Chains A and B, each alone.
Chain A
Amino acid sequence: MKLKFCLLLVTGVLLTGSELAQVRKPNTAASVLVKGPLGIITRCVVNGDDIYWLEENSQNILYTRTTGGYPAPLVRTNIKIELFILSTQPAFIT
């Protein structure tokens, strides 16, 4: 009887422990995806697996994966881009 009780107790503790282990706390440490300096970026948006932003010079829209990586150009222009939005694809700019 005592042995059964002990087994139940141990099983209960193990189950509870494994359930608790599955409740993962969010990692609140910030990570760097693209190392700076990037200047002052005031237009940015995530779309799918990519993040897009308007460069500080307001002429180019760059993007990189949301997991990080070297930025690539979506558009390079010689005009001033005021705003951009992403609506799935394509992008719209004024």
Chain B
Amino acid sequence: MRTSGKKRSITTLLPNIGIPSSTFLAADATDVYVSALTKEQGGVIIKVSKTGGEPKYVVSRILSAVSSAAVDDQNLYWVDVLDNSVLQVAKGGGERKSLFKPEGSSFEPLMIATADELLYLVTRSNDIYEISKADGRARLLYQGKGVTFYGPSLVVDREYLYWQENSGIMRLSRKGTEATALVRDASPTCITLDDKYVYWFEAKKGLMRVEK
């Protein structure tokens, strides 16, 4: 569905698409991408113009349990928690490709964020990886030291990654230097950014912000 800004009217872009995924919704300049379970094609990723029109299957007959998705100029990326991997497919359609799937039963990917030629991935144990979109080569940027209670928020700007861990908001240079606690004594449930501030929600305190 689409809302027309603050006029609050809602337009249905994709009626009767089966069961839409609750975790895969992405957009670029012209199109919106969703995943769904359909009768005809099984698991699919569907693309529809922001202005409406005929939807197209980007990929079909896939079995994925998606926990997070991202889009860039060329590809769609998503985390499959059934396969414990990061997958990609060209926005125009084609074969899906496994971009990152390390060996090891303890690896449980959860959320991705895209920035330039890289993906950033946070796992259930709060490990953070940097993954090359070109060849899937990855490096561990940060080894998790705690848990998150509401599912991790991983956000990225030009210089830093931000995420929640234990009772605080952590920050790490994208170059991979040592992580520091930007905010202590906080219980964020969602984190977001603009150029100047980090914003977060806490169940009891409300909406907070701090300068980067």
A and B: bona fide binding partners: yes
Is B3's CB under 8 angstroms from A93's CB? Answer: yes
Contact flag A37-B150 (CB < 8 Å), given A75-B10, A85-B25:
no
Task: Please provide the chain B residues from 63 to 99 with a CB less than 8 Å away from any CB of chain A in the complex.
Answer: none
Whole-angstrom CA separation of A30 from B168 in the bound complex: 12
Is A41's CB under 8 angstroms from B189's CB? Answer: yes
Q: Which residue of A lies closest to B199 (CB)?
A: A51
For residue B38, CB closer than 8 A to chain A, the reply is: no
Contacts of B2 in A (CB 8 A): 90-93
Q: Which A residues contact B (CB, under 8 angstroms)?
A: 26-46, 51, 53, 61, 64, 66, 68, 73-77, 82-85, 87, 89-94
The one of B22, B151, B190, B202 that contacts A94, using a Cβ cutoff of 8 Å: B22
Whole-angstrom CA separation of A84 from B192 in the bound complex: 14
Contact flag A51-B203 (CB < 8 Å), given A41-B189, A44-B192, A74-B8:
no
Please report the number of residue pairs spanning A and B whose Cβ atoms sit closer than 8 angstroms: 137
Quick one: CB contact mask for B38-80 with A, threshold 8 Å, 1 for yes?
0000000000001000000000000000000000000000000
Contact flag A87-B50 (CB < 8 Å), given A73-B8, A74-B3, A92-B27:
yes
Whole-angstrom CA separation of A38 from B24 in the bound complex: 25
Instruction: Return 20 A-B CB contacts under 8 Å, by A number.
Output: A26-B211, A30-B183, A30-B210, A34-B206, A37-B206, A38-B203, A42-B151, A44-B192, A46-B199, A51-B199, A53-B207, A64-B207, A66-B197, A66-B209, A74-B6, A83-B24, A90-B50, A92-B3, A92-B32, A93-B3
Whole-angstrom CA separation of A33 from B108 in the bound complex: 34
For residue B5, CB closer than 8 A to chain A, the reply is: yes
With A28-B211, A66-B194, A92-B50 already in contact, 12 other A-B pairs whose C-beta atoms are closer than 8 Å: A30-B208, A32-B205, A32-B206, A44-B200, A73-B8, A77-B10, A83-B23, A83-B24, A83-B25, A84-B25, A92-B2, A93-B25
For residue B186, CB closer than 8 A to chain A, the reply is: yes
Which of B4, B32, B193, B199 counts the most A-chain CB atoms under 10 A from its CB? B199
Q: Which residue of A lies closest to B11 (CB)?
A: A90
The one of B4, B8, B206 that contacts A38, using a Cβ cutoff of 8 Å: B206
Minimum C-beta distance from A12 to chain B (A):
31
Whole-angstrom CA separation of A42 from B192 in the bound complex: 11
Minimum C-beta distance from B23 to chain A (A):
7
The one of A30, A33, A93 that contacts B1, using a Cβ cutoff of 8 Å: A93
